[in-house]
Amino acid sequence: MSGVLKLGSTTFGTENNGKIDLTNVGEISYNNHPTFFAYLGTKQTNITDQTYVKVAYDTIDIDTHSSFDISSFVGRYTIPSGCSGTYQINARVTGWAETDTNLRDDHLYLRKNGSNYEGVANRWNVNDIAHHSNVLTTIMNLNAGDYLEIFCFINSVDQTDSTVMSKTSDLLVWSPTLFSSGWEEVERLTTFWGYRIQ
């Protein structure tokens, strides 16, 4: 039995009377497992009715490898170099028809390298609602250089009032008295996050 500890091709520690001595190893780096969390900081209003539109996640909370783009390709996450593996990817998109109960369809799509990978779709037909959150969670194998984006598809009866919500106070456009009637501010209603699991 070998008296050393190996991570990949790197050996840590030495054998000392049949035991592994890690006294002088120092910090063991686990740097190839990136994590990111981004959200929509301001409501997105450039939503063309019944059209696939990329969600422009514009605020980053966590980005361990500086791989989330909020400038050139807003809302895009690219798998960093040396970090190919299996990832858990999650997204939430809160669609809203600003004219009260006008929301008829609300879809969320995860795209990998520009192509649809997985999605969530809801339709209310004539039983329209005001707003709704779609949530997607998946596990996928990704290679360095692969990029991920979230798209939405919203259909409102009015066809001109589709919005992606960032926080509850966005609804004040619709009802200025919401908070006086007991509503509380909740942010991060539209989020995108993930991490490498192996």
Q: What is the pLDDT of residues 13-42, one digit of tens each?
A: 555 555 555 556 555 556 789 999 999 988
Report the mean per-residue pLDDT for the chain.
79
User: Quick check: 83 and 195 in contact, CB under 8 A?
Assistant: no
Q: In the prediction, which pLDDT does 169 show?
A: 62
Distance CA 126, CA 124 (A): 6
Other C-beta atoms within 10 Å of 138: how many? 14
Q: In the prediction, which pLDDT does 113 show?
A: 98
Report domain extents, the chain.
1-30, 32-196
Q: What is the pLDDT of residues 75-100, one digit of tens each?
A: 999 999 999 999 999 999 887 776 66
Distance CA 20, CA 75 (A): 46
In the three-class reduction of DSSP (H, G, I as helix; E, B as strand; rest coil), residue 137 is classed as strand
Q: In the prediction, which pLDDT does 1 show?
A: 40
Q: In the prediction, which pLDDT does 121 show?
A: 81
Q: In the prediction, which pLDDT does 82 show?
A: 94
CATH among 1.10.260.40, 2.60.120.40, 1.10.10.10, 3.40.50.300 for 32-196: 2.60.120.40
Among 50, 56, 51, residue whose Cα is nearest residue 104: 50
User: Quick check: 63 and 56 in contact, CB under 8 A?
Assistant: no
User: Quick check: 4 and 13 in contact, CB under 8 A?
Assistant: yes
* pTM across the whole model: 0.76
> Which residues does the chain have with pLDDT short of 70?
1-30, 98-101, 127-130, 157-186
